[in-house]
Amino acid sequence: MILHEKIAEQLPAWRERMKALAKEHADVVVDHVTVGQVVGGMRDVKALVTDISYVDPAEGIRFRGMSIPEVLKALPKARGGKMPLVGGLYYLLMVGEVPTREQALEVEAEWARRAEIPDYVYKMLKSMPKETHPMTLFSQAVLALQNSSVFAAKYHEMKKDVYWEAALEDSLNLTAKLPLLAAFIYRMKYFGETKKMKYNPRQDYGMNFARMMKVEDKKGYADLARLYFILHSDHESGNASAHAMHLTGSTLSDAYYAFSAALNALAGPLHGLANQECLAWLLDVYKKFGGVPSRDDLYKYAWDTLNSGHVIPGYGHAVLRVPDPRFTAQMEFAKKNFPQDDLVRLADLVFEVVPQVLREQGKAKNPAPNVDAISGTLQYYYGVREFDFYTVLFGVGRALGVTANYVWARALGWPIERPKSLTTKMLEDIVAKAKQAVN
């Protein structure tokens, strides 16, 4: 299998580099940690390593060193579409090289071979109360698949240096099934349809998803799905969903357990749920003003939101200090394909007005839009208007990045995570001692 071969080729050199760091340079200081960071959500503490993606505060995400525009340009395109094959992106994340068209199609074929869901998972989903949140259903379904984990089954007979092979098998099996699970949850929850999903091996990942969602009639949804999954795939290791996957995987939990944990982190309103909050905010504006408001009205509305103690969803970021290139790529897609859509025009106006409002308020370190400021608007245009489903879409995309990281973490033998806690008194004593030293 192509990903297996390519990773195996590179592994000896990577292991040497890791060994040198762990054995010869373990005492070299990387950074110091301040009290502010300890009590501030470990913000910016440099304590994780990944070579799969990097978020530059002044530039945004790079996948394997490539910016979003570079990735979209370089990866082989889907037949009949303008966006890359998702299989090509998975190859890039896993292997670190731009695949040929054949290599990208090999990954797509691996997915097609593995894209089947056992009956009991459908049954379990159907038995859940109707009002269950789609993220709960999604995470439960992933967990329900855990009993097919190759890693868990082989754990007692495997040597440590081949853990990654079982991790890769699980990751391919899992990512292959996610479009089916997500589309089934969508059709079941909102349309009462409970027919099993069928993956068409002649279609790519994005087209399969669009077809199973039944939104293929408006041209371009398959391309949007490809773009969406690619953009949401990875954002280095410190974001909550990626870190939840990494932490859980570090206990040698298999990819199903670990990805379910990642989904549960993604379901929080300060993380993946923000895209639904953002669209709700746009629609509230639209409703209140009976259409796209004037600049002044929007300015006042944004201030009202802040004054009522709420954040403006879709704006701000823990690391980024510029407009998120994932926002820019989606905005370009919208402006190319449906520039006259009212919500797109509104999102564009918000992009003009809200950064100014946040700058005037002076609290947010980054007044610019993040990925969520536009992603719901695009789904809405295509008729996917059930907001609480949007985080499931995010989850399908996020799986690509976090499973690639999970495979490499097992390949490089990353140990179980165990940071150290202090008591509040200990922290206060550290502060007192530091003050004494200054005086």
**Which C-beta is closer to ligand CMX: that of 61 or that of 344?**
61
**Which C-beta is closer to ligand CMX: that of 184 or that of 259?**
259
Sequence-ordered alpha helix ranges (H) in 267-341? 274-289, 295-307, 325-337
Query: What DSSP character marks residue 147?
Result: G
φ, ψ of residue 155 to 5 degrees: the values are -50, -45
Asked if 331 and 348 touch (Cβ cutoff 8 Å), the reply is yes
The token pair that represents 280 in the structure block = 């709700």
Q: Report d(CA 50, CA 15) in Å as an integer.
A: 14
| Residue 131: other Cβ atoms inside 10 A | 7
Residue 271 annotated to the active site: yes
Q: Report d(CA 410, CA 311) in Å as an integer.
A: 38
Give the nearest distance from C-beta 272 to ligand CMX in angstroms: 5
**Which C-beta is closer to ligand CMX: that of 140 or that of 239?**
239
**Which C-beta is closer to ligand CMX: that of 207 or that of 371?**
371
Residue 133 annotated to the active site: no
Q: Is 308 helix (H, G, I), strand (E, B) or coil?
A: coil
Question: Given the structure tokens 């913000």, which residue do they identify?
Answer: 43
Helix (H) or strand (E) holding 54: strand 53-56
The token pair that represents 164 in the structure block = 């990654």
Asked if 126 and 140 touch (Cβ cutoff 8 Å), the reply is no
Asked if 205 and 76 touch (Cβ cutoff 8 Å), the reply is no
Q: Which listed residue (170, 234, 254, 372) is catalytic?
A: 372
87 sits in the region (left: phi over 0; alpha: psi -120 to 50; else beta) called: alpha
Q: Report d(CA 12, CA 300) in Å as an integer.
A: 59
The token pair that represents 219 in the structure block = 């041209």
The token pair that represents 97 in the structure block = 């090289």
Asked if 134 and 189 touch (Cβ cutoff 8 Å), the reply is yes
Is 149 buried (19+), middle (13-18) or exposed (0-12) by CB count in 10 A?
A: buried
**Which C-beta is closer to ligand CMX: that of 101 or that of 363?**
363
Closest residue to ligand CMX in the complex (CB): 316
Asked if 230 and 92 touch (Cβ cutoff 8 Å), the reply is no
31-37 long-range contacts, CB within 8 A, separation 24+: 35/427, 35/430, 35/431
**Footprint of ligand CMX (CB under 6 A):** 239, 270-272, 274, 306, 311-318, 358, 363-366, 370, 372
**Which C-beta is closer to ligand CMX: that of 61 or that of 105?**
61
Give the nearest distance from C-beta 346 to ligand CMX in angstroms: 17
Give the nearest distance from C-beta 170 to ligand CMX in angstroms: 25
Q: Which listed residue (317, 341, 348, 429) is catalytic?
A: 317
**Which C-beta is closer to ligand CMX: that of 81 or that of 272?**
272
Residue 246 annotated to the active site: no
**Which C-beta is closer to ligand CMX: that of 76 or that of 367?**
367
Give the nearest distance from C-beta 382 to ligand CMX in angstroms: 20
Q: Report d(CA 326, CA 375) in Å as an integer.
A: 9
**330: nearest Cα among 284, 281, 275, 283:** 275
Residues with catalytic roles: 271, 317, 372
